[in-house]
Amino acid sequence: MNTEAEAPEAAVAPDDRPDPAATMSYVYAVSRAGTALDTAASRLAGLEDGPLRTVTAKGLAALVSSVPAGAYGEAGIRARLEDLTELAALARTHHAVVEAAYAGTTVLPMRLATVYLDDARVRAMLEERGTDFADALGWLEGHVELGVKVYADPREAAAAPPPAADPPAAEGSAPAPETLSPGRAYLRQRRQERRHHRDAYRAAGAVAGAVPDRVAGLVRARVAHRPQQGELASAAGENIANEAYLVPVEGVEDFHRALTGLADGLPGVRVEITGPWAPYSFATVPAAGGRA
């Protein structure tokens, strides 16, 4: 019997085992080099509670922290993205870092899980894409992202008070119909439920279609995202429209006013405005060109 084949340590050669001390460079955002991003880096913590730093090249700076190579290499990051709990924790930290940095300066948020082998690869990325990054930063300067979600909720529509009853019939008019049988009452209820469902979705669709026109003169760009479903949709009703708008900072209040009352008088229809956020939806930068 070959006892060495049964020993777990013989299955992996020592040189192939991951170095527990090895790290990689996780990139959160790119901005112009300067004190604003350096100041943000000095007071923030990134993933794994690691300190943040800036990596600079061509007048640009990347906001970076070191992460364990075993947990954030190809296999490790794939496992995290497939685990909703791990994904949520990763997204929260990434988002918190970007938002805190954006409070002090315009940044281009990098996509979630943008990981490079080391700072040298990050620097090379900045040098390669420097012109694109600078142009994008100039385009986003002075703007924030606002989200608009439209929901249809047939149950809310069904629970809304019915229209005011008609006045009593005049004396001598036809008598009121007899009380419905249980079977007919059930059929009437089902018809009413279907009508509420149909009406709520039609009204929500009309509201969603009116949003772009209402804000057309107030925004620089618009992106339509896939409606949120399943565990991503925490609000009541069904999300039928999920859009992002790039709005000048000074126009945020006007944007809100433009959509005020859009769903008034429409039971089962709700409009939700989120933000302002850093412009994730409008930062079209490479995902991770130097990822291991």
pLDDT of residue 118: 95
pLDDT of residue 230: 59
The DSSP 8-state label assigned to residue 178 in this structure reads P
pLDDT of residue 74: 87
Alpha carbon of residue 222 to chain centroid: 14
Mean pLDDT for 27-36 is 91
Asked whether the beta carbons of 28 and 95 are under 8 A apart, the reply is: no
Do β-strands 60-68 and 23-32 pair in parallel, antiparallel, or remain unpaired? antiparallel
Say yes or no to pLDDT of 285 above 80.
no
Cβ neighbourhood burial of 28 (10 Å; 0-12, 13-18, 19+): buried
Do β-strands 221-225 and 238-248 pair in parallel, antiparallel, or remain unpaired? antiparallel
Helix axes 84-102, 35-42, angle to 10 degrees: 130
- Is residue 67 very low, low, confident or very high in pLDDT (cuts 50, 70, 90)? very high
Spatial CB neighbours of 116, under 8 Å, sequence gap ≥ 6: 24, 25, 27, 122, 125, 288, 290, 291, 292
Asked whether the beta carbons of 70 and 76 are under 8 A apart, the reply is: yes
CB atoms within 10 A of CB 166: 6
Alpha carbon of residue 20 to chain centroid: 33
Q: How far is CA 149 from CA 118, 161, 165, 208, 240, in A?
A: 39, 25, 34, 8, 8
3-class DSSP state for residue 68? strand
- Is residue 211 very low, low, confident or very high in pLDDT (cuts 50, 70, 90)? very high
Q: Which domains does the chain have, with CATH numbers?
A: 7-141 (no CATH), 144-161+179-279 (3.30.70.260)
Spatial CB neighbours of 250, under 8 Å, sequence gap ≥ 6: none
Cβ neighbourhood burial of 167 (10 Å; 0-12, 13-18, 19+): exposed
Residue 204 C-beta-side C-alpha neighbours within 13 Å: 27
CA gap 158, 268 in Å, rounded: 8
pLDDT of residue 266: 87
> Encoding tokens for residue 265?
């008088």
> Encoding tokens for residue 70?
């075993």
**Across 51-55, 89-93, 149-153, 234-238, least confident range:** 234-238
Sign of CA dihedral 208, 210, 215, 219: positive
pLDDT of residue 200: 83
Mean pLDDT for 11-34 is 73
The H or E element spanning position 239 is: strand 238-248
pLDDT tens readout for residues 235-248: 678 999 999 999 99
Mean pLDDT for 132-142 is 92
Mean pLDDT for 250-263 is 96
pLDDT of residue 268: 85
- Is residue 265 very low, low, confident or very high in pLDDT (cuts 50, 70, 90)? confident
